[in-house]
Amino acid sequence: MIKNNNCPLQYTMHLIGTKWKPLILFHLLEGGLRSGILQKHIEGISNKMFTQTVRELEKDGLISRKVFPVVPPKVEYKLTNRGSSLESILRSLDKWGLKDGEKKQKNS
């Protein structure tokens, strides 16, 4: 956690401001996903980065992890209530990216 943080944006960016966190959170908006399926949705993420990122999100209380006692192991991630509260931010980022990408294509 950030010490002496008086800036709400800095606080938010500390929680979700890496390359992979918003993507993982966004893909969990529709519901829980098994670990392998979630990782396949995130193009370019390594196993190490995926594991590190979901651990950070879990530590920060944005996602939960459920391990099923089966062979092979089954792990499912889903948003917590705190993580779900980021939905409007994540959807706004997605919408902005779509619009800006279309503008960039038109100008090319």
Print pLDDT tens along the chain (108 aa).
445 568 999 999 999 999 999 999 999 999 999 999 999 999 999 999 999 999 999 999 999 999 999 998 899 999 999 999 999 999 999 999 999 988 878 887
Task: Report all structural domains of the chain as residue ranges with CATH numbers, in order of start.
Answer: 8-107 (1.10.10.10)
pTM of the model: 0.89
Residue 81 has a CB neighbour count (10 Å cut-off) of: 9
Angle at CA 39, nearest 5°, toward 76 and 84? 55
Which residue type, as a one-letter code, is found at position 75?
V
Residue 21 has a CB neighbour count (10 Å cut-off) of: 19
Q: Please tell me the predicted confidence (pLDDT) of residue 107.
A: 82
